[in-house]
Structure 1
Amino acid sequence: MRHFLRYLGHRLYTTWATFWFVMPFVVTYPLQWALSRRPSGHRHLHSLNRAWSRLFIRMWGMPVEVVRHSPLPAGMPCVYVANHSSYIDIPLLFRTIPGWLNIMGKISLARVPVWGPIFGRAYITVDRDNAMSRGRAMVQARRSLEAGRSVVIFPEGSISKKPGEEMGEFKDGAFQLAIAAGVPLVPVTMPLNHRFMPDVGGLRVRYSPLAITLHTPIFTTGLTAADAPRLRQQAYDTIASGFRPDARGIPEPSTWRRLPTAPSGPAPKSAPQAPQNQELASTNS
């Protein structure tokens, strides 16, 4: 019975979370579509996306811990680099980071039905396997920074295989961009998102607290392209320092009944072993 109630609770909470994610989007879709059609409307579209993120995260009902190690540079755009562990990474970043953000996402996001074209028009998309697409995305990001609009990049390029525990290798693009534009780089750690919605090839939602840490900005004034590897490693170590050992692993799938367990009987007796060093023992006796 306990397993059935736990399973039912998971299904009900998943339905609740999905409803509050989808319903505000459906209601505001005509406005989002209209704003996405004109570059002059993209700032207002981002404000709407931030309000949407704040609403559904609040309605999900879990606490969100926000840690800011130091104030963000006033009046300056930044390059934010964050670990990638869940599909809710972008909403949590939108909820937390102030200002008008541009975010670099994989091109497959622009292909999602209904929502994808809006994302593709308002933000930066990139095919990481295509050199021309990567170059075009960096140009768009540089122009965004020059216009005073901060950029968010996931330097891993994809969701980690061991979220909250290990990160994939960082690509150089974000760090070269920050140095070339002369803007601060802000490492961001999100250590718990995979506990709420892991990337498991299907929809698995669990009630779990969320947390996000905005680390101390790293200023890039005076750095050159040769400093990019050191900056990349510094950001990697800083982000990893915010992981929590008790948050390792992803939640298991739930089932309505107890899974069978292997029988626990006495351990089989091992066969007797032949005496070792018998000749030596006889000599020394």
Structure 2
Amino acid sequence: MTSTGSGRRVASGSPGFLKRSQPRYGEKAVKVLLVAASLVSVLTTVGIVIALIPPAAEFFGEVSFGDFITGTDWSPLFKPAHFGVLPLVTGTLMVTLIALLVAVPLGLGAAVYLSEYARPRVRAFFKPILEVLAGIPTVVYGFFALQALTPLLQDIWPGGEGPQVFNALSAGFVMGIMIIPTIASLSEDAMNAVPNDLRDGAFALGSSRMQVATRVVFPAALSGIVAAIVLGVSRAIGETMIVAIAAGGRPNLSFDPLEGMQTMTAFIAAAGIGDLPTGTIGYQTIFAVGSLLFVMTLVMNLVSIRLVRRYRQVYE
């Protein structure tokens, strides 16, 4: 028997008897590690912002922000220098759009098959193979686009006039293949998280497997699918080696994917390995373009968070 604070006695085996638990040092250690990992991510982002702001501020102290955003001529390393970033933005968006046109249908199709049609053994076999594409070095993708895909397109293009040696079409197509595993894997995980009760109810009402997949599971997993697509877009926008090798290094304000273009990341890579003296206006362009890319990615992520919260469905 054990005496409580009120004077009542409670049997040791009764539910009212509370035994002091042992200190859970392992759980505390895991919590500390998780907090440390979160802090590293936040501090890394803060460090990037701190590194970008001073050189970018010096750049915009000499170059008008309006001319930078709306200018159509980008030649910061030549005389006379021009700092219109629109050609780089256009090239980035063009390649990213082509990549999405390739990756979204194929990635979502693979996710629907693995989640709704494939048997467990087939899923366990094909999903790791699909994710192997994410581990291939991007420089390999770039050389594949330049040496294999572009010559193939030039040979089969109707009319005899195909893409140029460096072009946005090949770079975007191969980049789309690269981000298929990201979209497919995350979307498939979101679809698998949908409760089976929804599927069973739809089947009980006489729905076909296609109807269940497209009208029940897909809408229910929409928030996760949107997050997967946004993550794929972020990776496409930030990709460097594929566009540097296959898309070319000439800033070109054009909407023709058969022409060569330079993206924002390709310019940063090309200028960063050059012999630009520190503190010059040419050197500061790297940070100006990097700041714009950072802002574009941030805005896109904020929009995606809003969409995910809007369409998110919680099941008990």
Question: TM bucket by the smaller chain?
Answer: under 0.3
Provide the TM-score with structure 1 as the length reference.
0.26
- The structure with more radius of gyration: 2
Q: Which of the two has greater strand per residue?
A: 1
Q: Which of the two has greater helix per residue?
A: 2
